[in-house]
Amino acid sequence: MLLEGKKLLITGVLMDSSIAFHVARLAQEQGAEVVLTSFGRTMRITQAISRRLPAPAPVIELDVQDTGHLETLAERVGEHVDHLDGVLHSIGFAPQGAFDFLGAAWEDVATAMQVSAYSLKALAVAALPRMSAGGSVVGLTFDAQYAWPVYDWMGVSKAAFEATSRYLARDLGPKGIRSNLVSAGPISTTAAKSIPEFGQFAQWSDHAPLGWDIKDPVPAAQACVALLSDWFPATTGEIVHVDGGFHATGF
């Protein structure tokens, strides 16, 4: 029971193929109480998917581009749990125009950066009134040290996202709160389908020393659960790679 008694806020549960869904499932199996977020037309989908968890979880509305949602988040979370021990950031979006690096308009880039990078800080600050020493913020990234094919401004947003986590580690550390990321290999989630030519990543397993199953989100979810637990009490500002070892090799 790695998370026994913990209370977690988990974003990004859309389908049961998502990493966030499996984080929520594993967290409950390890003893945590979970609150989910969603917004707009996806609220009903998340509510339906939540019923596939070991225990149905409440779903509160959170659009990270809506300042009103962020300002009232702690209060609304308090309707379900009295405090938070951890937050999972599993949020990312870029308009189609942002997947054309040279041709992208600033409006598309700005949206990608706000939703996919700045939102980590915004979410952490919004949840902070419910968190105390020992808390953990965990986010999901896709290794931003490379210029990937087709990823374009989403890749730049992930680089900003990774830097944001380091600055959060700096500023939340004195409060006893950690900020870490899991860098997952490519996984066939709903979000991945919006990336043009995502199929190029199907060859990932050919270069990963441990191999890689593009359809299996569980290893990444397990790493998130571990970082949300008390088993990494002195680790912050870190990026844990869960990619079959791809990041450590050339070819």
Q: Is 94 annotated as a binding residue?
A: yes
pLDDT value of position 140:
98
Residue 55's alpha-carbon distances to 24, 90, 222, in angstroms, are 10, 20, 18
Pairing of strands 131-141, 84-89: parallel
Q: Is 229 annotated as a binding residue?
A: no
The CB-side HSE value for 70 (13 A sphere, CA atoms) comes to 16
pLDDT value of position 197:
59
Q: Is 187 annotated as a binding residue?
A: yes
Report the number of distinct structural domains present in the chain. Answer: 1
Q: Is 18 annotated as a binding residue?
A: yes
Confidence of residue 194 (pLDDT cuts 50, 70, 90): low
pLDDT value of position 192:
61
110, part of any domain: yes
Q: Is 111 annotated as a binding residue?
A: no
Query: Quick one: average pLDDT of 136-141?
Result: 98
Distance of alpha carbon 134 from alpha carbon 137, whole angstroms: 10
Residue 136 maps to which CATH number?
Answer: 3.40.50.720
Query: Quick one: average pLDDT of 146-159?
Result: 94
pLDDT value of position 204:
83
- Over 70: is that where the pLDDT of 190 sits? no
Q: What percent of the chain lies above the pLDDT cut of 90?
A: 87
pLDDT digits (tens, 9 = 90+) for 57-104: 999 999 999 999 999 999 999 999 999 999 999 999 999 999 999 999
pLDDT value of position 193:
62
Q: Is 12 annotated as a binding residue?
A: yes
Distance of alpha carbon 27 from alpha carbon 205, whole angstroms: 28
30, part of any domain: yes
16 against 197, higher pLDDT: 16
Query: Quick one: average pLDDT of 119-139?
Result: 97
Q: Is 141 annotated as a binding residue?
A: no
Distance of alpha carbon 213 from alpha carbon 215, whole angstroms: 5
pLDDT digits (tens, 9 = 90+) for 46-61: 999 999 999 999 999 9
pLDDT value of position 12:
96
Distance of alpha carbon 102 from alpha carbon 107, whole angstroms: 14
Query: Quick one: average pLDDT of 222-237?
Result: 98
First to last CA, the chain: 39
pLDDT value of position 205:
82
Confidence of residue 191 (pLDDT cuts 50, 70, 90): low
pLDDT value of position 63:
98
Q: Is 171 annotated as a binding residue?
A: no
- 8 A C-beta contact, residue 237 and residue 166: yes
150, part of any domain: yes
1, part of any domain: no
2, part of any domain: no
- Orientation angle between helical segments 152-172 and 106-113, nearest 10 degrees: 40
pLDDT value of position 14:
92
Q: Is 91 annotated as a binding residue?
A: yes
Q: Is 239 annotated as a binding residue?
A: no
pLDDT value of position 203:
79
Q: Domain range spanning residue 140?
A: 7-248
Query: Quick one: average pLDDT of 111-128?
Result: 98
138, part of any domain: yes
Q: What percent of the chain lies above the pLDDT cut of 70?
A: 94
Longest dimension (CA), the chain: 51
